[in-house]
Structure 1
Amino acid sequence: MPSKTQNKNATKISAVIGFIILTITATVLLVNAVIQSFPIHPAAGIAVILIAIGTYFTIFTEGKTILKADFGSVDFSTKLFEFIAVFVGGILSFYLNNNLGLGLVVGSALVGLLAVVVAPKYAVPAYCGSFAGMSSAALFPKYHGIILASAIAGLIYVICRDIFGGFGGKLGAMSFISAIAAGLLLSGTFATAPIPNWNTSLWILLTAFIAAPLTFYLNTVLGKGPVLASTLIGLLAGLTLPVLVPGIGTQLGVVAICASFTGMSNEKRSPKFWYMLLAGLFTGFLFILSTPLLGGCGGKLGTTAFVSIMAVNGLTGLVNKIRK
């Protein structure tokens, strides 16, 4: 059997690999945002550059932390059950989303809620898997596609479990890169969509601005935890917004659950409430710009949230560093 030192070294190597994977995932979203932003307006491009600066400052800071960290060993059985939770969560979410026609928002939220009730210890990995299941049937017309994506997501979850802790959206980023990989390996068709018009964009910004801090409040102040807080907001938005806002309500439900992932952050990553308000705006802004990017891939919403809260965390950290 491997010694504790060997297990710790393996965990360290795993963390470094996971760091690279998540950095690449964030970069995919940011590069697209830069490409989409400048044709809209130079101010939008400048805003994306600022978001990128904040994101990469956070990534740089986390990278240094990972290199210095003394990771404890995690037993194989824990990792195995986490992998299974991600895998099952992905397939179940995909079934609810596509086969039962509940849609990606309600399907994912139900998986998260079910996991909290039935297996709270593995609710986080199950919810991570549900994001892979938010992929469309157009991308994965046969079940071997979502099976592959969920399996990759499970592996990446185990690899990335000990890094970027407390940042909302990290779970989605793991699923996003998994869905991309599975889609490319199986020659899947990624959907494309235009940037929303100004009126819809304003609704998107407003929805994200409300949903992110509301989730954060449920998560941290009321102590409901990140998974339950996000699933409650997701279900509420997914069931009510299509009725309350005809025409774009379904899209706004997607925005709401996207922003709820931002609100899954903990108080260490968002120590002041206005951090989350700003992160909500960033989430809505990046949601708009990412509309044409790799449509049908589950996890894109989480990646949007992940970049948004990292950007706020990094920009505030950079400003504080300059002041000192």
Structure 2
Amino acid sequence: MIDEGTVVISEAHQNLLAVVGGTLLTFAGVAELGMSPIVAASLVGVIAAIVIQGVAVPVYCGAFVGMTSPELFGSYWYATLAAVLSGLLFTVAHPVFHGVGGKLGTTAFVGVLMILVPTAGSFQSGPIPSQRVLLPVVGFAALGAISTFTVHTRSAADPVLASGLVGAVGGLLLPVFVDASGELLAAAVYSASFAGMTDPKRIPNEWWIGATGIGVGLVVVYTTPFVGGSGGKLGTIAFGSCLGIHGILRTLNIFELSRRGYQPPKEETT
């Protein structure tokens, strides 16, 4: 068993290949097959979780890189280069924020921006959605987070499979059965599914995960004009929301321990 806080250098090459593979599969699904980035990445995650469980996590990280718009990357070369950078960061970042949802997307987002900032002419952008869609987006995001968390904590499914399934359902159905806001709802659900991947040791139950999903939904709406088309953006939103809720929980725990008069053990001196 690998201790938390250990950088697994011996597995770096395996992780790197997995991230690159996940990137190219997702990018090809978008660029060649015309799939939506959400559906492409979700299916790659589901397949990896079922077929190659040992590297499903880095493959899923790569899938987020591959969600980047072909208009921004322009070629498989840039997608591969971003994947390599994300793969290296994946190994280096292994010891930190273990079990916090959205970490994979944030890793992908950093690798993508390292390529796009110097090369992309401009990111995709759009206006902030109208207030009438805010409540549905927040509601669907909370549902996506809770569904993912419940599936991976109360069944045999791992977090990658749970997120992939929720993302695929949302990405396939919402744009079809909902009005023009369907794509935004699907994005909110998928982003919140990353929050739902959080380890219960970090965020303990569905109530708090639901609150995290609400935060995700709000940020998805109000960041619409910024860095659109960048792979990993949705994961980064989830990561920030998870850190916020985790910080609140830790603060509440400290206050409760202080109220009970708990004192941390003093270090022995020699």
TM-score (norm 1): 0.75
* Equivalent position to 1:118, from 38, 41, 51: 51
In structure 2, how many angstroms separate the alpha carbons of the residues matched to 1:277 and 1:228? 19
Deviation of 1:169 after TM superposition, in Å, equals 0.5
SS at match of 2:57: helix
> Which residue pairs with 2:227 in the alignment?
294
In structure 2, how many angstroms separate the alpha carbons of the residues matched to 1:70 and 1:223? 22
Identity level (%): 36
Deviation of 1:142 after TM superposition, in Å, equals 1.9
Preserved CA contact (<8 Å) 1:138 1:189: no
Q: How does 1:129-278 map to 2 (within 5 A)?
A: 129-278=62-211
* Equivalent position to 1:91, from 24, 42, 47: 24
Matched residues, number: 255
Preserved CA contact (<8 Å) 1:241 1:253: yes
In structure 1, how many angstroms separate the alpha carbons of the residues matched to 2:200 and 2:225? 32
Deviation of 1:273 after TM superposition, in Å, equals 2.4
* Equivalent position to 2:8, from 63, 69, 74: 74
> Which residue pairs with 1:63 in the alignment?
none
Preserved CA contact (<8 Å) 2:4 2:98: no
SS at match of 1:270: coil
Preserved CA contact (<8 Å) 1:97 1:108: no
> Which residue pairs with 2:266 in the alignment?
none
In structure 2, how many angstroms separate the alpha carbons of the residues matched to 1:179 and 1:162? 21
In structure 1, how many angstroms separate the alpha carbons of the residues matched to 2:143 and 2:4? 38
Amino acid in structure 1 at the alignment position of 2:8: V
Unaligned runs of 5+ in 1: 1-68
Deviation of 1:230 after TM superposition, in Å, equals 0.4
Q: How does 1:303-314 map to 2 (within 5 A)?
A: 303-314=236-247
Deviation of 1:72 after TM superposition, in Å, equals 4.2
In structure 2, the CA distance between the partners of 1:312 and 1:244, relative to structure 1 (3 Å rule), is same
Amino acid in structure 1 at the alignment position of 2:37: L
Preserved CA contact (<8 Å) 2:8 2:91: no
* Equivalent position to 1:315, from 248, 252, 269: 248
In structure 1, how many angstroms separate the alpha carbons of the residues matched to 2:120 and 2:183? 28
In structure 2, the CA distance between the partners of 1:272 and 1:116, relative to structure 1 (3 Å rule), is closer
In structure 2, how many angstroms separate the alpha carbons of the residues matched to 1:159 and 1:263? 24
> Which residue pairs with 1:9 in the alignment?
none
Preserved CA contact (<8 Å) 2:6 2:94: no
The structure where helix makes up a greater share of residues is 1
Deviation of 1:194 after TM superposition, in Å, equals 1.4
> Which residue pairs with 1:283 in the alignment?
216
In structure 1, how many angstroms separate the alpha carbons of the residues matched to 2:36 and 2:137? 18
Deviation of 1:75 after TM superposition, in Å, equals 4.8
In structure 2, how many angstroms separate the alpha carbons of the residues matched to 1:110 and 1:230? 10
In structure 1, how many angstroms separate the alpha carbons of the residues matched to 2:251 and 2:120? 41
Unaligned runs of 5+ in 2: 259-270
CA deviations over 1:232-255 (Å, ceiling 9, x no partner): 001111111112212121221111
Preserved CA contact (<8 Å) 1:145 1:186: no
Superposition RMSD in Å? 1.5
Amino acid in structure 2 at the alignment position of 1:102: M
In structure 2, the CA distance between the partners of 1:206 and 1:145, relative to structure 1 (3 Å rule), is same
Preserved CA contact (<8 Å) 2:26 2:67: yes
> Which residue pairs with 1:44 in the alignment?
none
Q: Which moved more, 1:247-256 or 1:129-138?
A: 247-256
Deviation of 1:70 after TM superposition, in Å, equals 8.2
Preserved CA contact (<8 Å) 2:82 2:114: yes
In structure 2, how many angstroms separate the alpha carbons of the residues matched to 1:270 and 1:72? 22
Deviation of 1:322 after TM superposition, in Å, equals 2.9
Amino acid in structure 2 at the alignment position of 1:306: F
